[in-house]
């Protein structure tokens, strides 16, 4: 089974061509291949399948095997994968996801995709909820961007013990469902910095949907303008408000390709 390792701002996924055939037990496969000691190592697994109305379908699994509806960094790499490998010559694509179709604009450099702009759709921002996590209290804004997030504005996200607080807030009963958690600062109206705890994957270098959720929450609180540079530990995304929706532009990169041995595929 051939795979391609790709990343967007260090948010890395293992990509499988499932246009003609799909492996069995993708949940187990995602867990095994994502393991950074005994597998390929990644934040999860993404399968590229035939479109269900769009050009292609993205089916994603987190590192723990749980299935996700949408991944902002992952979908940019889907666009690069299908173009660079010659499955399409179109530079404007529609990708079907568990959160609905998403439109991509591919930016080409030297015959290969370098950057991708994604129409992330409309974010749904809820009212802040004050939650207790141990001895600390946080005002969390629930946001839906195709998947669920909890945005917390904090003056110094870099100082937050994300490994301790992330799991507690992800599973907090007051939020109703497992959520990705973002700690966000807005030093001025054109910039934001955030760190993300991703449900099913833990601390990641970047999260595209998390950046869009933070942007939508900042707009709702009048903390930023309609275009910002969002900096994450893995790099920078450009976020823009277009009508009622959010557009995200960022890089996509192929890391390496390889083959999964039969023993790896079948090991429990």
Which of the following is catalytic: 47, 207, 212, 224? 207
Distance CA 119, CA 209 (A): 11
List, in sequence order, the alpha helices (H) in the chain.
Answer: 26-34, 72-84, 162-170, 208-220, 262-266
The one catalytic residue in 71, 186, 212, 224 is 71
* Closest C-alpha to 14, from 38, 40, 36, 32: 40
Q: Which residue has the tokens 């976020």?
A: 239
Question: Does 71 participate in catalysis according to the annotation?
Answer: yes
Tell me the C-alpha to C-alpha distance, in Å, between residue 111 and each of 6, 179, 200, 236.
Answer: 18, 38, 35, 23
Q: Which CA distances in Å does 5 have to 74, 236, 250?
A: 11, 20, 17
Give CA–CA dist 41/194, Å, rounded: 24
Contact 215, 247 (CB under 8 A): no
CB-based burial label for 129 (10 Å; 0-12, 13-18, 19+): middle
Give all strands (DSSP E) within 9-71, no chain letters. Answer: 11-17, 44-50, 56-62, 67-68
Q: Count how many residues are written for the chain.
A: 268
User: Would you say 230 and 237 are in contact if contact means Cβ atoms under 8 Å apart?
Assistant: yes
- 224 among known catalytic residues: no
**Residues pairing with 61 in the sheet:** 45, 67
Residues marked active site are found at 71, 207
């Amino acid at each position: 089974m051939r795979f391609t390792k790709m990343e967007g701002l260090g948010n890395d996924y293992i990509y499988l061509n499932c246009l003609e055939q799909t492996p069995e037990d993708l949940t187990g496969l995602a867990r095994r291949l994502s393991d950074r000691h005994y597998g390929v190592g990644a934040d999860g697994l993404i399968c590229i399948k035939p479109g269900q109305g769009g050009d292609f379908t993205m089916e994603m699994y987190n590192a723990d095997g749980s299935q996700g509806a949408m991944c902002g960094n992952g979908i940019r790499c889907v666009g690069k994968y299908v173009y660079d490998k010659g499955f399409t010559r179109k530079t404007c694509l529609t990708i079907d996801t568990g959160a609905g179709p998403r439109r991509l604009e591919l930016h080409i450099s030297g015959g290969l995709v370098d950057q991708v702009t994604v129409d992330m759709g409309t974010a749904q921002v809820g009212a802040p909820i004050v939650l207790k996590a141990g001895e600390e209290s946080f005002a969390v804004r629930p946001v839906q961007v195709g998947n669920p997030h909890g945005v917390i504005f904090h003056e110094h996200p870099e100082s937050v013990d994300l490994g301790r607080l992330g799991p507690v807030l992800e599973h907090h009963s007051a939020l109703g469902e497992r959520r990705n958690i973002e700690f966000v600062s807005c030093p001025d109206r054109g910039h934001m910095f955030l760190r993300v705890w991703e449900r099913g994957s833990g601390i990641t270098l970047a999260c595209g949907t998390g950046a869009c959720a933070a942007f939508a929450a900042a707009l709702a609180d009048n903390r930023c303008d309609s275009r910002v540079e969002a900096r994450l530990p893995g790099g920078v995304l450009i976020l823009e408000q277009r009508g009622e929706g959010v557009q995200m532009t960022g890089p996509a990169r192929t890391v390496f390709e390889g083959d999964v041995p039969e023993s790896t595929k079948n090991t429990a």
